[in-house]
Amino acid sequence: AILVQEAVCHSRSHPSASRPAALEMSVIDLNPFNVVLARLEGVADRLEKGLAGAAAPGAGGAGAASASSGGSAPAPAAAEEPAIALSFDAFTSEKLPALQQAVKELGVPDVTEATEMFVSGLGMLRQVLVATGKCRKPKDSDWPKLLGSVMELGAKAQKACDNRSEYFQHRKAAAEALNVVTLVTSSSTTSHVQNVLETMDFHATKVMQKKEPLQTSWSKALKAVVKDLKDWCGEQCKLGLIWSAQGEDPVDYFAAHPLGAAAAAAPAAAPAPAAKGKGRGTPPPPPKGGFTPPPPEVLAKIRGDAGGSAGTQGAVGMTAVFNEIGNFSTGMLKKVTPEMKTKNQPKDVPGTVPAAPKAKAAGAKHAGRGPRGPPIKELQKELNWMIENHDGVPDLVLEEAEKQHLVCVINCRNSTLQIKSKVKSISIDGCERVNVICQDVISAVELVNCERCQVQTLGKVNSFAIDKCNGVNLFLPKESLAAEIVTSKSCEMNVTIPDEAGGEGDTIEIPIPEQFVSRLAGGKKLQTEVSSLYTS
């Protein structure tokens, strides 16, 4: 204005110069001033929105009242609540509108009721968060009583899940999501919410598989709330809730403020419009007048002394630990003399090595076979002859056996057994280098888990069974040439029979096949033949 006035005066005093001066004034650029003014107006708008958003998370209509009165300060009730409750209000104000809009568009009474139960559960969770700043941490035995309303709500939600209903999966997903409220009892809140998310995700996926757009939107919105709640827990209470050490008794507090009795939950209130962007919103404002300093006792514990004294008797925490370390005396410890040190020991003195391990290693090759106790030769239960744990007996004879008896040769080594009578069957198990000479056998001769064993029959045997053996030889007379030999998982087996074309005493040794060739023959049939190694 001064410049314009001077220009006018100059033009009146100097008419000839009035036109150049006017041209000079028209050249001035005001765009930089307009840009600065626009930026200042934008800053003022954001400050006003921030104050309105900080007042909105308050309980009931306190936020609206403060906004209508000017929005300069939050309501007194909100200032008394802990910061974690205000942060939870900001979370629900940002995340719940999408879920509430999705259930409104879906318009199904069952889904609406299930969603309302979930939102009510979040309201109870907020009441517990408010209680953390007013009472002490409850004992583990107190939780069932304090969370009685939560348990009743959960039972009601589960009972409403009717598997005959078309919206069974919707109700089930919301009922499982309701379990996030019990994160207040966990020392790892993120893990608790993750477990709830995995449980409800099964039912949420079933809903999305229907490929109904509105139902899919509701399912995704519910899942997003639980998933974002996990991130919120990681920022606010990852290792569990922090309670007021100087607060009142939790049982008395929750008796006066039962869960679900008061409308303390911000999720049910209409949320303020959230600012766009990837940020997590503005933090709650500090209480009016600043934070209350901790009591002197707490300050004394933090500083490491009790009652303000610097003595070691009142030290607590790490101060006490370092004081104990400083006062530790090594006078009672046994001193290590030079001759006790390993480096000073004479090197020419051999160490004492026990001989027991060597004996054990020498017998390792017999592991699983051979004697395991005192030798036994007895008739048990009037039926079984037990020949056990004989080692190095070349002339073992069994004459008392009868045709109804079963002869069991178990865990023997380097021995020869001669059975001089007809028996029902013979079983050889876990033996090594054992020879068995028998007469007639009614049923069969069995060899199981044996090494280098031989069986010679002087009479008639109908069947032999060899299982998991190595190096078995069978000697058959003319009476047993029709015997059946069944083998499995065995190797190095031979059968010796008399040579009819030769002289008396001549024998022929025939290997028992171990290699076979299998071919597909006509569809699903398999044809197996002995390898040509045994037929040539």
Tens-place pLDDT, residues 103-134 = 889 888 888 998 999 999 999 999 999 888 88
Cα 363 off chain centre by? 45
DSSP 13-47: H-GGGHHHHHHHHHT---HHHHHHHHHHHHHHHHH
Name the token pair of 380: 């048990």
DSSP state of 423: B
Specify the residue for token string 């001089």: 420
DSSP state of 441: B
Residue that finishes a domain, picked among 206, 233, 256: 256
- What stretches of 342-397 show up as alpha helix (H) in DSSP? 356-362
Between the alpha carbon of residue 462 and those of residues 112, 386, 437, 476, 481, the distances in Å are 80, 22, 16, 11, 9
Cβ atoms of residues 407 and 428 within 8 Å = no
Cβ atoms of residues 529 and 517 within 8 Å = yes
Radius of gyration of the chain (CA): 47
In a domain, 275, yes or no: no
For residue 33, the model assigns a pLDDT of 73
The total domain count for the chain is 2
For residue 276, the model assigns a pLDDT of 44
Specify the residue for token string 């308050």: 58
Name the token pair of 170: 């919707």
In a domain, 166, yes or no: yes
In a domain, 76, yes or no: no
Report which residue type is found at 238.
K
Angle at the Cα of 264 from the Cα atoms of 262 and 265, rounded to 5 degrees: 125
How far apart (Å, rounded) are the C-alpha atoms in residues 25 and 217? Answer: 62
In a domain, 64, yes or no: no
Which positions ≥6 away from 227 have C-beta within 8 Å?
197
* Same-domain check for residues 246 and 391: no
In a domain, 265, yes or no: no
- Residues of the chain short of pLDDT 70, as ranges, are 1-31, 35, 46, 48-79, 262-318, 326-329, 331-332, 348-368, 536
Cβ atoms of residues 119 and 268 within 8 Å = yes
Instruction: Specify the CATH number for the domain of residue 519.
Output: 2.160.20.70
For residue 288, the model assigns a pLDDT of 55
In a domain, 2, yes or no: no
* Same-domain check for residues 251 and 380: no
Which positions ≥6 away from 434 have C-beta within 8 Å?
409, 412, 413, 414, 415, 416, 417, 428, 450, 453, 454
* Same-domain check for residues 87 and 235: yes
Range of the domain at 110: 83-256
DSSP state of 281: -
Three-class DSSP category at 94: helix
For residue 455, the model assigns a pLDDT of 94
Global pTM? 0.39
Cβ atoms of residues 498 and 507 within 8 Å = yes
For residue 260, the model assigns a pLDDT of 79
Long-range CB pairs of 243-246 (<8 Å, 24+ gap) are: 243/132, 243/135, 243/136, 243/137, 244/132, 244/133, 244/134, 244/135, 244/136, 245/136, 245/298, 246/295, 246/298
**Pair type for strands 384-388 and 376-380:** antiparallel
Cβ atoms of residues 448 and 468 within 8 Å = yes
Cβ atoms of residues 489 and 495 within 8 Å = no
How far apart (Å, rounded) are the C-alpha atoms in residues 520 and 65? Answer: 88
In a domain, 354, yes or no: no
Angle at the Cα of 515 from the Cα atoms of 513 and 521, rounded to 5 degrees: 110
How far apart (Å, rounded) are the C-alpha atoms in residues 27 and 186? Answer: 71
Cβ atoms of residues 498 and 506 within 8 Å = yes
* Same-domain check for residues 238 and 90: yes
Cα torsion angle, 170, 172, 175, 176, sign: negative
How far apart (Å, rounded) are the C-alpha atoms in residues 309 and 297? Answer: 12
In a domain, 94, yes or no: yes
* Same-domain check for residues 247 and 388: no
Residue that finishes a domain, picked among 221, 256, 291: 256
Tens-place pLDDT, residues 21-53 = 444 444 566 667 776 777 777 777 767 666 555
For residue 55, the model assigns a pLDDT of 47
Residue that finishes a domain, picked among 207, 227, 256: 256
Instruction: Specify the CATH number for the domain of residue 176.
Output: 1.25.40.330
